[in-house]
């Protein structure tokens, strides 16, 4: 928890891996935080993670829609826009009529 990344305090991280924002007290009782929280302790202001396993096809689509929204203005990005970007990405899934259990697992840890 003492690690600090030099430029992390103004950035965000997108963890497009399964269970990156989940804590499992049954299998790993000595681990009290999840990967997304660990990145926040390192200085990242916003971290997108997942609560459970995702479909392989969903990860690239969500990431693409997320970053398309984050970088919609040439050369401008702001970690404070990550909530809107995630909402945009999951909203696109809803428009494609993807089941709720496939888009609700994406969460944002934001300070």
pLDDT for the residue numbered 11: 77
Question: Within 13 Å and on the Cβ side, how many CA atoms surround 46?
Answer: 19
Instruction: Return all residues near 62 (Cβ < 8 A) that are at least 6 apart.
Output: 16, 89, 90, 93, 103, 106
pLDDT at 87: 96
* Residue whose tokens read 């989940």: 22
**What's the whole-model pTM score?**
0.79
CA 20 to chain centre: 8
Structural domain spans, the chain? 8-110
Q: What is the mean pLDDT of each run of 10 residues along the chain (111 residues)?
A: 55 79 63 74 85 90 93 78 94 97 90 73
68/55 Cα distance (integer angstroms): 20
Q: CB–CB of 44/4 below 8 Å? A: no
What is the structure's pLDDT at 94?
Answer: 97
pLDDT at 95: 97
């Amino acid at each position: 928890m003492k690690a600090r990344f030099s430029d992390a305090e103004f950035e965000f991280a997108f963890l497009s891996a399964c269970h990156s924002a989940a804590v499992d007290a049954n299998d790993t009782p000595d681990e009290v935080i999840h990967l997304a929280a660990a990145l926040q302790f390192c200085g990242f202001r916003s971290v997108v993670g997942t609560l459970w396993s995702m479909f392989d096809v969903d990860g690239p689509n969500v990431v693409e829609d997320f970053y398309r929204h984050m970088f919609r203005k040439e050369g401008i990005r702001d970690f404070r826009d990550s909530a809107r970007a995630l909402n945009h990405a999951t909203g696109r899934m809803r428009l494609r009529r993807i089941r709720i259990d496939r888009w609700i697992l994406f969460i944002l840890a934001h300070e």
